Structure 1
Amino acid sequence: MTFYARHRQPPQSWAGYVDGWVMDMQARGLSEHTIEANWYRLTCFARTQTRGPDEVEPSDVQAWLTGERIEASTKAGRRASVNEFYNGACG
């Protein structure tokens, strides 16, 4: 299943995990806007990774969050999306 086809997709090794996570967020009644924002942020993270989602280390997340100059609110949104994913789909 492919969600948000107009956006760049996550790596193939992440796709099943991400799709399952989207379906879980839908089942929990999160708004479509929230789901898409979470999906987009996580996909951006996934595209920077050379490992699958079950192999990512905390240091990989930290490097992504600190690798560029971004506003604190952007950083908080990115962190929240990654946390949501790992506490749900991979947790």
Structure 2
Amino acid sequence: MKIHVGFEEGFVKASMVHTGDQPTFTEENVKEGTEFRVVLNIRIESSPSLLNLAVADAIASTGKLMQAEWLETYNECFSPLPPKPVHRLYKAI
């Protein structure tokens, strides 16, 4: 999971690779603010509809707890297609 929180002149990014791991943070020009752009990138073994529901619930709960308003501008939740590997056979010299 990666979360990128951007603001006027900086950002905070948190990444977590395995369940139970502590997140790693990258920060640049961190300041207090009132408006942020949040991008979530989550890869998980789940159906897209269940993931979408869990994320929406977490956002609503966090918004209520923080007394914050969430304005969603874009949402895409999907399962990637299976890979189509390319096989090449070359003539031995």
Common fold by TM > 0.5: no
Q: TM-score, normalised by structure 2?
A: 0.28
Hey, which of these two has a bigger chunk of strand by percent? 2
Larger RCO (CA within 8 A; separation ≥ 6):
1
Q: Which of the two has higher C-alpha Rg?
A: 2
